[in-house]
Amino acid sequence: MIRAFAGSGGKTGTILALADALAAKGRHVLICTTTHIERMDGAVVGNDIAAIEAAFAQNCVVMAGQAAGEKLGPLSRDTYERACALADDVLIEADGSRKLPIKCPVAHEPVIPGNAEEIVVCVGMSALGRPLGDVCHRPELAAALLGVDVNERVTAEHIQRLVTRGYVDPLRKQYPDKCVRGLARQCDGLYKRAIGAMLEHEADVTRLNPDWFAPQPELLICGAGHVGRALAAMAVQLDWRVTVWDDRPEFADAARFPTGVRVICDAFEHLPRAFSPGMRCVVATRGHAQDENCVRMALGADFAYLGMMGSRRKIAALRESLAASGVAQSEIDRIHMPIGLAIGAQTPAEIAVSILAQIIGEMGARSTAGPELMDCERPGVLCVITQKEGSTPRGVGSMMLVADGGIVGSIGGGGIEYAAANDARTVTGVVERDYVLDASADMACGGRNRVLMAPLREGMPYVRRT
């Protein structure tokens, strides 16, 4: 099999890993290039076919090419053709991307040899969420192709359009006799693995909402009093990551809090050390001065939620103080004051319920999966609810991974989950199926879930799709 690797995001690493996997099966593998490739130790430099033949007598994997500085360039046509005859598999680096995860090619790229049977277009998922200009080779061309600014952050849809319009469609038109397919690389994390599967199976990546894959919320509680303690205990039950900050050692005591809560005893002036983008922050210290200081520091941070406890009088005074110091009204309006939903809460536990309910209500569509699924790296079929009608146990964004040895996560249990899990064990590509929960005399609820199923592979960098 002669495969040419184009695109970006780890071509050389993919080639080397595949070569090792093939060699483990006893196959002889030639690695070469039509452009340039990083030179590995023991590479045959030059066009001497006898030297290549001698190298194969000693090794299953041979890299060969002409000297091109510290890299290797293409073999001559005659040497290349004769070297191909010595190998069971030929892996060709046919494109350059300056080690960036995504790329927009020009007309002469990639350089595909005529005897290649398959063209693999690599792309790096590490580009997701980063400015296009920072992660793309030829970002201006890519921006023009996508109709965006070079400073716009890369989405899964951007990557799919670059791979499809820049590579797959033109290559299939130019080489109708060759198999052309995409290969996602740098897939750390469940979302990148899922998007990689969608790309490789040429399914619409917009079917997966990135919010569903967001990690469980991170909550910063300023104040370790009765409300802070109750709030931390309930947030831990939701699998949230919780940090409690207080300057009183008798309150900022880890023994007062459940396992998993990060408790910090330090002056509130150092509070920004605990800030991180997307955090939820609740201010509930022992006094007005500390509350105001915490709120002022938090206003300059990228919080998804900011709320402060306090009486109407205290809240009015804080609003007036912030406005007098030049804080924009739009910033003041970001603060949830009074905090929590108006449910008539009185006790610390009731107040904690009202606060968490408000935060949950503002979080929007997301997965309800816990960290055991989000951190899972096992191969299997990911099942995600993408549509819901009527009354079913779990909503849009709920997901499970059907893997060898069991199921991680849940899409609701019962008949829907059982049927979906059975179907997932038979799928080979990305599919969507509807599952109906019928109302009956014993079960008043009834509805329909649409479940998207995407096969997720393990770390092996190359899987041939039939």
Tens digit of pLDDT for each residue in 194-251?
999 999 999 999 999 998 887 778 999 999 999 999 999 999 998 899 999 999 999 9
Mean pLDDT for the chain overall: 92
- Cα separation, 102 vs 329, whole angstroms: 41
The percentage of residues in the chain with a pLDDT greater than 70, rounded to a whole number, is: 95
Q: How confident is the model at residue 462 (pLDDT cuts 50, 70, 90)?
A: very low
- Cα 200-211-165 angle, rounded to 5 deg: 35
Non-local (6+) Cβ contacts of 56 within 8 A are: 28, 62, 86, 87
- Cα separation, 227 vs 5, whole angstroms: 58
pTM assigned to the model = 0.77
Q: Is the CB of residue 267 less than 8 Å from the CB of residue 290?
A: no
Closest CA to 436 of 376, 390, 396, 399: 390
Non-local (6+) Cβ contacts of 266 within 8 A are: 245, 247, 273
CA atoms within 13 A on the CB side of 388: 18
Task: Map residue 220 onto helix, strand or coil.
Answer: strand
Q: What is the CA radius of gyration of the chain?
A: 28
Using the CB atoms, write b or e for 233-249: b if 16+ within 10 Å. bbbbeebbbbbbbbbee
412 pLDDT more than 90: no
Q: How confident is the model at residue 394 (pLDDT cuts 50, 70, 90)?
A: confident
Task: Map residue 93 onto helix, strand or coil.
Answer: strand
Strand-strand pairing, 431-437 and 447-456: antiparallel
Mean pLDDT of 312-329: 94
Backbone angles phi, psi at 236, to 5 degrees: -65, -35
- Cα separation, 226 vs 180, whole angstroms: 62
- Cα separation, 122 vs 91, whole angstroms: 13
